[in-house]
């Protein structure tokens, strides 16, 4: 069987920690009297923590010193981590485990490519860490998506050419990063939002293992 590289984003693809990010950012926004809705939260998808804070401050038209920004970034992460304490395998999104298991059984290399700096503990808590041959997260990259850096590093670690890499993403920036990196992009979510992806599925329950087998053969 052929070998491809399968690269997964974390939040909104493997697990849904987006709600915890939202709660942590909302807490900061409330303290600064900035209105921060779920709609606003969409702007932060696939974006680094530093850029996310800047977006929130822009929403409130607030200018802040680097010292204040660092304090809020630290606070946000502490709040976020506190929400993750009780996380377990029940947080894995439907259908994900079936695909990971199929890839592992067929000896396909798997990597994580995420902006999250907490990727490893999340994979540990959900019992998925052993499925990944490489983990590239926010600690390993300097450029945020749509720059393809995170995916290019992942493909390199899996010793695979970018054109043989398949990326699962739920954000516009992530899909764009995969496309810029000359990889096959698979959008997980709304077709109207992720229309730049080569393939789009509402969630992993819509992805048949035969579809994955065909990707491997290509």
Q: Where are the domains of the chain?
A: 5-16+88-217, 18-84
Active-site residues, by number, are 9, 11
CA distance 114 to 7: 9
Q: Give me the pLDDT at residue 138, please.
A: 87
Q: What is the mean pLDDT of residues 13-17?
A: 91
* Cβ proximity of 163 and 155 under 8 Å: no
Nearest-angstrom CA–CA distance, 137 and 119: 7
DSSP H or E segment with residue 7: strand 5-8
pLDDT at residue 15, as a whole number = 94
pLDDT in tens, 112-169: 999 888 899 999 999 999 999 999 998 899 898 999 999 999 999 999 999 999 999 9
Identify the pLDDT of residue 86: 84
pLDDT tier at 1 (50, 70, 90 boundaries)?
low
Q: For position 18, what pLDDT does the model report? A: 78
User: Reduced to 3 states, what is the DSSP secondary structure of residue 122?
Assistant: helix
Contacts of 137 (CB under 8 A, 6+ apart): 10, 112, 114, 115, 116, 117, 118, 119, 120, 150
Q: What is the pTM of this model?
A: 0.84
State the pLDDT at residue 42. Answer: 85
Q: Encode pLDDT of 65-116 as tens digits.
A: 999 999 999 999 999 989 888 899 999 999 999 999 999 999 999 999 998 8
- CA-nearest of 135, 132, 129 to 154 is 135
CA distance 113 to 28: 27
Residues in the chain, overall count: 218
Task: Mention every residue, 6+ apart, whose C-beta is less than 8 A from residue 146.
Answer: 173, 174, 176, 177, 180
The class of domain 5-16+88-217 in CATH terms is alpha beta
Assess if CATH 3.40.50.620 describes domain 18-84.
no
Non-local (6+) Cβ contacts of 200 within 8 A are: 186, 187, 188, 189, 191, 194
Q: Are 133 and 158 in contact (CB under 8 A)?
A: yes
Predicted confidence at residue 131, as pLDDT, reads 98
Q: What is the pLDDT of residue 45?
A: 80
């Amino acid at each position: 069987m052929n070998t491809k590289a399968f690269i997964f984003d974390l939040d909104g693809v493997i697990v849904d920690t987006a709600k915890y990010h939202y709660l942590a950012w909302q807490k900061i926004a409330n303290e600064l009297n900035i209105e921060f809705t779920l709609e606003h939260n969409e702007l932060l998808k696939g974006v680094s923590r530093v850029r996310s804070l800047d977006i929130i401050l822009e929403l409130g038209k607030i200018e802040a010193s680097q010292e204040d920004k660092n304090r809020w970034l630290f606070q946000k992460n502490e709040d976020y981590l506190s929400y993750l304490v009780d996380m377990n395998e029940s947080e894995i999104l439907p259908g994900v485990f079936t695909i990971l298991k199929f890839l592992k059984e067929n000896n396909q290399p798997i990597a994580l490519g995420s902006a999250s700096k907490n990727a490893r503990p999340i994979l540990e808590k959900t019992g998925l860490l052993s499925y990944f041959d490489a983990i590239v997260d926010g600690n390993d990259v300097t450029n945020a998506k749509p720059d393809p850096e995170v995916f290019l590093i992942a493909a390199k670690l899996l010793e695979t050419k970018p054109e043989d890499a398949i990326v699962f993403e739920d954000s516009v920036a992530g899909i764009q990063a995969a496309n810029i990196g000359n990889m096959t992009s698979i959008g997980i979510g709304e077709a109207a939002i992720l229309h730049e992806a080569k393939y789009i599925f509402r969630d992993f329950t819509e992805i048949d293992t035969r579809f994955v087998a065909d990707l491997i053969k290509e």
